[in-house]
Structure 1
Amino acid sequence: MKKITLVIPFCIAIIALLYLSLPYEDPYEHRQVVGVASAEDNYLLPIIPHVRLSSRPEETFQFPIKLGEVGPSHSLYSGPKQYPFYCMTIDSKIGQPLVDNQQGLGVPVYDDLSKRNEIIGYSKDCLVPSHLKFYYLSKDNHLIKLSKNQFAYVHNLPNAKQPLALFRAEQGSINRFIYTIAMAITPEELGERVKSSVWNKKLIYQFNGGSGIGFRQGRQKATKIISRRLPQIQQGYAVISSSGNRTSYTYNMLIAEDTARRVKLHFKSLFGEPLYTVGIGGSGGGLAQYLIGQNSQGILDGLIPQYSYPDMLSQTIYTLDCDLLNNYFTFRDRKNSRWQQWDQRQLLEGMNTLNDFPQKIAFLQPVAQLMAGMVPSFPEGNSECINGYFGLSTFIHNPRQGFLRSFFSKAVVKQTNWNYWEDMAWLFERDEHGLVQSTWDNEGVQYGLRALKQKQITVSEFIHINKHIGSWKPQHEMKAESIITPFGRKMPLWISLWGSDNITQVSHDTQVAPRRSAALEAIKAAYRGGQVFIGRLDLPIIDVRHYLEEKLDMHHMSASFSARLRLQQANGHANNQVIWVAKRDYDPSELAFSMMDSWLLTLKEEPTLSVSQAKPAQLQDICFDEQGNIIAQGKSVWDGHWNQRAEGECAKAYAIFSNSRIQAEGPWQGSIFKCQLISVAQAIAQGFYGSINVTDHLDELKTIFASGVCDYRKEDAGRPNDI
């Protein structure tokens, strides 16, 4: 095994040298952003005391957008545009963006894209004219685009289903993002924009997920929108969406809301008021519904979040711990054999871990260990921290990392800070180094405290963990990971691992690796700006997910219950939310649409009823098996550790795991960014360590936690008291 591990880094080095010696044509080089525009002033919605309480301004753009013309470029109320901004109209199969300058700002636009022979100008805002496309569904369920010449002969098209399934999609740009309106039509409506005899007057807003840091317009293909919601469209629903509502491209929930509002307004100006609008979307597309539903009115009437989290910021609290812990297990406590047993890692990480579960990037561990002067070893297991979040910490948090694909020229890359926090520049202040402040903090966090209290780790191990775990370095000290791409940019090889170069450490065992204290003003702004889900939401919610813990997938169960606890904390109940979980072979989304339809129509017909009163009696918390059979349903089926009750039948069938901050005795609602501190002596006196006697280690603990330890009985130190 050792011989193999020694050969691997040598082979990688040879491959890298061969790769660097070969000619390489970058597929993005001819359409990179080459110049950065200056943002013009634009109205930004006030956020005091909370963005949900701020009145939105009257619309200034005259909707509908005329065919052949462009939608608004400036947002209505989400502040100045972000630059640089990479155009993705070509990726969306709608051609090049319109030229809007000759100063070299943005991406080049060519006279003939295929030949790339003459640049006729540049596009900094990526605008495209509104246009229509028509499709039919082939026998093998492929969407085939129809040309105008085929309209008259549509019934004679080869492979067409009978009766023929026809669809219209409109696309264009609103707030610089690509919007789509899709619905089923009849043959008589081919070529028409607003005829809609098939539409059932019900509207779906499709949200989408992914990890994004801004700076991109986003890809949106009409065929994907139609295919994703094909059963609903065939039932008569209309579907609207925007690349601005896919979190792969931005987690700025104010621009996401502003964009969704305008896309819906454009739809209404063409087709009239729908009976209702229901949101659907997974992962980031789920949390976007929670936040837009909380922060605004008039966009969504009901939510079907899938694989959701309450919000992105809360997720960073524990996911940015992942690399700290992996770094600790791999490098800082390498000699402790306990951490080579993957079930033991769960004591600190909380999220699921599995022995003998293969790692796609397992070979990187011995490479990194060799480079650190250590005896290399292959991991014999895996965790959600690795399988779900590898690479995301540096992408989200490190301003020097940026995109692996070369969307931007080297000059632009050098002058831009590339992380999630920069996408929050409209909301958070900049520090003395010009970097946008971060809300992430681990000052006073006692990693592994729950395991210590349960006597699953020793006091010595607890002290060692908290002494050496460290934190992320200040942003201005961070540097990009060491990455090579011998197999192309879709298969990068990380020579550095777990962000080890960007994590605080010490040169001597007697020292303590520094922790990070976040700026209170950033946390306060996050709450006020609606980037945190605080539970102020009174819309129907059917929270749907597959059980993915056994796959070590990042979409973990506990997130749904975190949202529920926040709803309960804010409103005294969570009767407007039901949680459905199924095995992967069964998708309950169709049933969710049917139940949501009954719920929303009851509210429409009987407006005096509350959301809870209008909820169908049969609509309850449920867990399904792989065939769609109900395992259990009812009020208590999901009870468990998260609400300190005896485990319900669904919780027994589908285990709910925690995370690193819960393992540090933090709350399950997961909304404490910066804990309030008390001294170690006070913590001992108040029973924080249970039956474990740590008095003999008081001086050492005081050295590690010089400013105190987290008192999770109290609220977030950064949460404003007037929201």
Structure 2
Amino acid sequence: MIKKLILIFLLLVGAGFMLWLYQDVTNEDRHFAVQNTAKSKNNYLLDFKGHISQAIRPTEHFSFPIEIGAIGPSESLYSGPNQYPFYCMSRDSKLGQPEVDNYEALGVPVYDSDKVIGYSKDCGVKTRIDYYTLSKKGSSYIASKVTDVKTAKHTELPLFRVEQGTINRFIYTLIMPIKNTEVDNRRAKSKWNKRLIYQFNGGSGIGFRQGRQKASRVMTRQAQQLLDGYAVISSSGNKTSYTYNMLLAEDTARRVKKQFTSLYGNPLYTVGVGGSGGGLAQYLIAQNSHGILDGLIPLYSYPDMITQTTYALDCDLLNNYFTFRAADKSTWRDWEKRRLIEGMNAINGFPQKGGFLQPINQLMSGFTPSFPKGSSECINGYFGLSAFINNPQQGFIREHYAKHVVDETKWSYWQDMSHVFGIDENGFGLSTWDNVGVQYGLNALKAEKITLDEFLHLNAHIGSWKPQQQMRQEEIVLPFGHKLPIWLTLWGNHNITTPIDEVAPRHVGSIKAMNQAYKSGQVFIGNIDLPVIDARHYLENELDMHHMSASFYSRLRIQDAKGHSRNHVIWVAHKDFDPTKQAFDMMDKWLSKLKSEETLTTITAKPESLKDTCFNKDGSIYGVGEGVFDGQWNNRKEGICQSRFPMFSTSRIEAGGHWAGTMFKCPLISVKKAVEQGIYGKVNIAEHLSTLQRIFPQGVCDYGGRDIGLPNAHITEYLDEKFRQQGVELRMVNKQSNLP
């Protein structure tokens, strides 16, 4: 059997290298690759002495609107210097090549036929107007470009004016429903219902590129709303595939909206919509700033990305342990047992994408090979993301850059944020990730669902991610392109610390980076007053990364910051029912009422029928009202919706952490003190005290304490003051609405 697997492996690798050598998938990308890295110029960056929400944004100095044929601002208003290298993607967005902005071979080459006529480092595109229609095909819509203006004037289909160009180097899109008689008038808006949607989009990625934004895609995402008379705006800078720098995302959104209002005037309101990263962007922009959004419809959301990395970067560490390091690997082939440690869902028998990689990597490491007989959200949802986010030698966009540019660049999220978080002595962006003192599987040990030996071995051998300067690129073969990579360093095992005297070292995160993450608004701390309808499909049984519990991390943070969460509604639907249209309808009632009477507050304007709800497959309501989602997350008896759609946790929650998930670095107490405080429940730990002390020489997490990564002064003073103010405001609201 082993010989057969070895033969299969050799055939795969041999065929892979042959196809890899002869593939021409990236030839065109190389043709337009970034040739050299430009140097960043100084540009204004907000002062984060306190929380970002206290910082005054500078007065706009660019003259909006951008005229047709002109190029928008290439430097941000207040989010710091431009990032380089920067790959232009206007061709991918059907907008043609970028404009030449230098002749020093900085950025991508610009061609006239086969001749290079200059280079573009900032990817500027001239502002243009096109016309599109929407037509129905089955249950979905198709957006079609009208190529002839004369045809546009006589079309009987709904017509939309689409403006595109670049702002802050990203591609922006404005879409306005119009009459066919308004084709020649840029500012005409007679079919607009005065309501504006800002469309945010998700994805997992790092910066260093402009991103693509096709007008047709923006339109089909909001087709129903466009047909109902809404205007829609968006930017590739508000798609988290291209940046998780939420300061830059806010700066960009503010300017895109400014372009819109300079043409059409102020809307009645602006509501955000978007899934995954497009959901967390709404939470953070609404928390950090004013004047961009009036209401939020986050879909499949997380509260933010950076606190998500706390547990997401545990995934590959745990998979590496289960696959290569466990004392008894067979016991961890029970995927429901893995769930006890990982927190997120895991299912026996679930088909694992890329499952063939396990025996290949086991053979290479000298272990008996075995195919996985199940999978987890850690694998199905997060596999590979740790390399892309955390490994400066990796990235996933290398074919867009000349080799020396690739070698010179540190490809990571931490580098994206280095101008805010800071850099270390080796020039690498400071990281917030920390797992010192984390007792993986503590809850399972206390519940006697794993043995003490399993607990001790896991925590001794799991290790951590190596320091960035020690990381190496993943060994990946791409015989069939990026859609089917063959990983030869599964779970990034070569970038994980190995045991020294039977204990693998843990990773110490940067306190400075943590402080800056809080102050610069990369962390959702719950300080939000706007109306929110947080909606999602239930996808736990799909092992989808968009786990239901994330909505409740946001809920807990809002409650902690505000003392209530009455502006926050959660909807969970069966995967076959889409509640988005209903969310828009309810948000319209909420915001229209709020805007119509100055005496109303967010809470008093909220429609009476708008409550936490879960929906059946046919769209009927399964449960509605206060308490329907109660459960372990808030220490209450399980509600009807929680029972129908059970949620799961995370590795840090299962290590004893809070459901709110806002602790970057836990305060430590000695193992002896932890035993005295009863952290291990009924488990007799006394005989193994010396072993625990050897595994945790610095101590173990005390989750009853305060996050060491939380800034000591300004932000806590700010939060305390806001809470005092909100206590007064809440009493006023209660008085007006006769609430208890």
TM-score norm. by structure 2 comes to 0.95
> 2: CA distance between counterparts of 1:8 and 1:602?
66
Residues 1:19 and 2:19 aligned together = yes
Letter of the 1:471 counterpart: S
Correspondence for 1:638 among 629, 647, 672? 629
> 1: CA distance between counterparts of 2:129 and 2:393?
41
Match of 2:433 in 1: 440
Match of 1:217 in 2: 210
Match of 1:158 in 2: none
| Partner SS state of residue 326, structure 1 | helix
Match of 1:526 in 2: 517
> 1: CA distance between counterparts of 2:597 and 2:205?
41
Match of 1:6 in 2: 6
CA contact (8 A) 1:471 1:515 kept: yes
CA contact (8 A) 2:571 2:612 kept: yes
Correspondence for 2:638 among 641, 647, 650? 647
Match of 1:682 in 2: 673
> 1: CA distance between counterparts of 2:491 and 2:338?
15
Correspondence for 2:570 among 564, 576, 579? 579
| Partner SS state of residue 251, structure 1 | coil
- Per-residue CA deviation, residues 61-118 of structure 1 (Å, 9 max, x unaligned), is 1101000001111111011100000000000000000000000000000012xxxx10
Post-superposition offset of 1:405 = 5.0
Post-superposition offset of 1:22 = 2.8
Residues 1:418 and 2:389 aligned together = no
> 2: CA distance between counterparts of 1:209 and 1:577?
21
* Equivalences for residues 67-82 of structure 1 within 5 A: 67-82=68-83
| Partner SS state of residue 580, structure 1 | strand
Correspondence for 1:196 among 186, 189, 206? 189
Residues 1:383 and 2:384 aligned together = no
Correspondence for 2:159 among 156, 166, 169? 166
> 1: CA distance between counterparts of 2:533 and 2:4?
50
* Equivalences for residues 301-450 of structure 1 within 5 A: 301-333=294-326, 335-450=328-443
Letter of the 2:704 counterpart: R
Task: Label 1:103 to 1:232 Cα distance change in 2 as closer, same or farther (>3 A).
Answer: same
> 2: CA distance between counterparts of 1:210 and 1:607?
38
Task: Label 1:478 to 1:538 Cα distance change in 2 as closer, same or farther (>3 A).
Answer: same
Match of 2:652 in 1: 661
> 1: CA distance between counterparts of 2:21 and 2:662?
50
> 2: CA distance between counterparts of 1:64 and 1:369?
59
Letter of the 2:146 counterpart: L
Post-superposition offset of 1:2 = 4.2
> 2: CA distance between counterparts of 1:189 and 1:535?
44
CA contact (8 A) 1:73 1:127 kept: yes
> 2: CA distance between counterparts of 1:279 and 1:506?
48
Post-superposition offset of 1:611 = 1.0
CA RMSD of aligned residues (A): 1.2
Letter of the 1:364 counterpart: L
Letter of the 1:425 counterpart: S
Letter of the 1:409 counterpart: A
> 1: CA distance between counterparts of 2:294 and 2:255?
16
- Per-residue CA deviation, residues 569-600 of structure 1 (Å, 9 max, x unaligned), is 00101111000000111000000000000110
Match of 2:268 in 1: 275
Correspondence for 1:612 among 603, 612, 619? 603
Match of 1:61 in 2: 62
Match of 2:87 in 1: 86
CA contact (8 A) 2:171 2:213 kept: yes
Task: Label 1:209 to 1:456 Cα distance change in 2 as closer, same or farther (>3 A).
Answer: same
CA contact (8 A) 1:151 1:190 kept: no
CA contact (8 A) 1:435 1:475 kept: yes
Letter of the 1:301 counterpart: D
Residues 1:715 and 2:709 aligned together = no
> 1: CA distance between counterparts of 2:571 and 2:512?
37
Match of 2:684 in 1: 693
CA contact (8 A) 1:443 1:516 kept: yes
> 2: CA distance between counterparts of 1:681 and 1:152?
77
Identity among equivalent positions (%) equals 58
Residues 1:127 and 2:128 aligned together = no
> 2: CA distance between counterparts of 1:291 and 1:208?
14
> 1: CA distance between counterparts of 2:38 and 2:397?
22
| Partner SS state of residue 611, structure 1 | coil
Task: Label 1:13 to 1:562 Cα distance change in 2 as closer, same or farther (>3 A).
Answer: same
Match of 1:261 in 2: 254
CA contact (8 A) 2:171 2:237 kept: yes
Match of 2:535 in 1: 544
Match of 1:31 in 2: 32
CA contact (8 A) 2:37 2:107 kept: yes
* Equivalences for residues 177-256 of structure 1 within 5 A: 177-256=170-249
Post-superposition offset of 1:718 = 1.2
Task: Label 1:21 to 1:518 Cα distance change in 2 as closer, same or farther (>3 A).
Answer: closer
| Partner SS state of residue 498, structure 1 | helix
CA contact (8 A) 1:179 1:263 kept: yes
- Per-residue CA deviation, residues 15-72 of structure 1 (Å, 9 max, x unaligned), is 1232245363623010000110011111101111111100001100110100000111
> 1: CA distance between counterparts of 2:17 and 2:142?
43
Letter of the 2:103 counterpart: Q
> 2: CA distance between counterparts of 1:695 and 1:17?
55
Match of 1:159 in 2: none
Post-superposition offset of 1:285 = 0.2
CA contact (8 A) 1:37 1:124 kept: yes
Match of 2:282 in 1: 289
Match of 2:498 in 1: 505
- Per-residue CA deviation, residues 460-518 of structure 1 (Å, 9 max, x unaligned), is 111001000100000000000000111123322111100100000126xx421000111
| Partner SS state of residue 579, structure 1 | strand
Post-superposition offset of 1:274 = 0.2
* Equivalences for residues 129-148 of structure 1 within 5 A: 129-138=126-135, 140=137, 141-148=141-148
Larger mean Cα displacement after TM superposition, 23-32 or 33-42: 23-32
Task: Label 1:19 to 1:522 Cα distance change in 2 as closer, same or farther (>3 A).
Answer: same
Letter of the 1:444 counterpart: G
> 2: CA distance between counterparts of 1:150 and 1:94?
21
CA contact (8 A) 1:279 1:304 kept: yes
| Partner SS state of residue 58, structure 1 | coil
CA contact (8 A) 2:152 2:159 kept: no
Task: Label 1:451 to 1:139 Cα distance change in 2 as closer, same or farther (>3 A).
Answer: closer
Larger mean Cα displacement after TM superposition, 138-147 or 667-676: 138-147
| Partner SS state of residue 32, structure 1 | coil
Letter of the 1:527 counterpart: Y
CA contact (8 A) 1:70 1:173 kept: yes
Larger mean Cα displacement after TM superposition, 401-410 or 139-148: 139-148
> 2: CA distance between counterparts of 1:80 and 1:493?
37
Match of 1:476 in 2: 469
CA contact (8 A) 2:431 2:513 kept: yes
Match of 2:735 in 1: none
CA contact (8 A) 2:162 2:215 kept: yes
| Partner SS state of residue 399, structure 2 | coil
Letter of the 1:127 counterpart: G
CA contact (8 A) 2:149 2:183 kept: no
> 1: CA distance between counterparts of 2:516 and 2:136?
53
Aligned residues: 710
Task: Label 1:186 to 1:20 Cα distance change in 2 as closer, same or farther (>3 A).
Answer: closer
TM-score norm. by structure 1 comes to 0.97
Residues 1:109 and 2:110 aligned together = yes
CA contact (8 A) 1:85 1:216 kept: yes
